[in-house]
Structure 1
């Protein structure tokens, strides 16, 4: 019986510990078309990096680098 191999976290694979809130190109990959933060099962991030990613997106929204709502 085949076993399920889940997606690897791209941050764990590339050994990234700090997710910069100013890196909008990276953060846009984890924001849905409705400008919500994508869940971890949707993009395959681990719990540790999902928390850091959501904090970075929230900080970018506060500094007005990322939008809160779609246009």
Structure 2
């Protein structure tokens, strides 16, 4: 069971989820949280959709790339 809820990105006010939930820490060792900010095809969601501020978006990107590097997150879900 996930302690992080799925976020509905369509109808919500643009508030940084990391400012709203102080318990959420951006860390590559937490792929469960990072998956919320990656599409089903493996793309990182942009700021204009998620509402994450610029500093946290840069941190988020860096940690997603680190998690992919050590195989905690997949680069893509498309298998050809």
Give the TM-score taking structure 1 as reference length. 0.82
For the aligned residues, what is the CA RMSD? 1.7
The answer as to 2:19 corresponding to 1:20 is no
Deviating beyond 4 angstroms after TM superposition, the runs of 4 or more aligned structure 1 residues are none
Among candidates 53, 59, 75, match of residue 52 of structure 1: 59
Distance 1:16 1:37 in 2: 22
- Secondary structure, in 3 states, of the residue corresponding to 1:64? coil
Structure 2: gaps (5+ residues)? 1-12
Q: Deviations over 1:26-62 (max 9, x none)?
A: 0000000110111011111110100000000000000
Structure of higher RCO (CA pairs closer than 8 Å, 6+ residues apart): 1
Alignment: residue pair count: 66
Give the TM-score taking structure 2 as reference length. 0.73
Q: Summarize the alignment of residues 1-71 of structure 1 with structure 2, pairs less than 5 Å apart.
A: 7-15=14-22, 18-71=25-78
